[in-house]
Amino acid sequence: MSMNRKELGEFSSIVCFKAVVTGAEEALGEKAAAITLISAGRNRGKHLAEQLGLKNGMPLADIVPALQKALGKDGTRLCIVDKLEQTDESIKVYCQETICSAGEPQGSPRKLTFTLGAIQGVLELVTGKRLRGKQIESVLRGSSHDVIEFETIG
Amino acid sequence: MSINVAKLEGILQNLVSGTPDVQGAALVSPDGLPLASTLPSGMDEERVSAMSAAMLSLGERIGNELSRGEIDRLYVEGDKGYGILTSCGEEAVLLVLASKAAKQGLLMLEIKRVTEDIKKALG
């Protein structure tokens, strides 16, 4: 049986999450910390996709509502997934209010790590392919969304 | 450009089957994603990949912070064998697992040769 918090409930502050991220960066370096957080996110994404019953081969458009419900306001509040665009070469995911960008000043060079990994994990399970994700736009650098582009490896 | 995974798998297969006491090898992207691998059964490719990239990155940080210069290899020695991590340029990290019986000189020569092959294959 898992331990429930009677008074505090399911949620914790973004401040604590950010402290974990910056603490890991301090100890391990930015790159090693990012690898670790992306890897943790991918695991979370794969488990989430399984929990949501998302299947390999289903249309990508169908997963957006499921992600919105699971990760958005009525879910774990990791981020809001607004839309997803698929081309022959890549998949672009448009997110808002990501936990990775939250609390950062405008102009901050911070990139998505855990959020990127979580969405990557979901997409890898649904597409059945290995993907490499790269953040191509940021709300911290003038964009309306945090945009991640995923390309297939191999 | 798409990576030729089959070619990379072939290079790793040749390394593992053609070098005495080499037990496995994996090639991972610098952000910790698996590219190709020939690992002993029971090893989780995804975990090995994230761990390898994080470790090489941490090694680079140690090299920098402790003024050890540029790191091109990390070496882990246990009572059952070796784990050697080598940078293959900006595109990949090579992990080679060898038993305690492996001849280190031969192992290093093979890793050097394979690293060049991998760099060529990655273009």
CB atoms within 10 A of CB A69: 13
Q: What's residue A72's pLDDT?
A: 94
Mean of per-residue pLDDT scores for chain B? 93
Summarize the confidence of residues A91-97 as an average pLDDT.
Answer: 97
Q: What's residue A2's pLDDT?
A: 82
Say which CATH number the domain at B71 has.
3.30.450.30
CB-based burial, A126-144: b 16+ in 10 Å, e otherwise? bbeebbbbebebbbbeeee
A46 touches chain B (CB under 8 A): no
B44 touches chain A (CB under 8 A): no
A68 touches chain B (CB under 8 A): no
CB A154 to CB B60 under 8 A?
no
Q: Could you list the residue range(s) of the whole structural domain that residue B30 is in?
A: 5-122
Query: pLDDT (tens digit, 9 = 90+) per residue, A104-124?
Result: 999 999 999 999 999 999 999
The predicted model scores a pTM of 0.85
With a cut of 70, say whether residue A154 has pLDDT above it. no
CB B54 to CB A35 under 8 A?
yes
**Which residue, among A35, A89, A135, would best test binding to B if mutated, counting the most B CBs under 10 Å from its CB?**
A35
**Which residue, among B1, B7, B51, B57, would best test binding to A if mutated, counting the most A CBs under 10 Å from its CB?**
B57
Q: What's residue A153's pLDDT?
A: 84
Q: What's residue B1's pLDDT?
A: 55
* Domain count across chain B: 1
Query: pLDDT (tens digit, 9 = 90+) per residue, B29-44?
Result: 988 999 999 999 999 9
Which CATH class, in words, describes the domain spanning A14-152?
A: alpha beta
Query: Using CA atoms, how far apart are residues B106 and B102, in angstroms rounded to an integer?
Result: 8
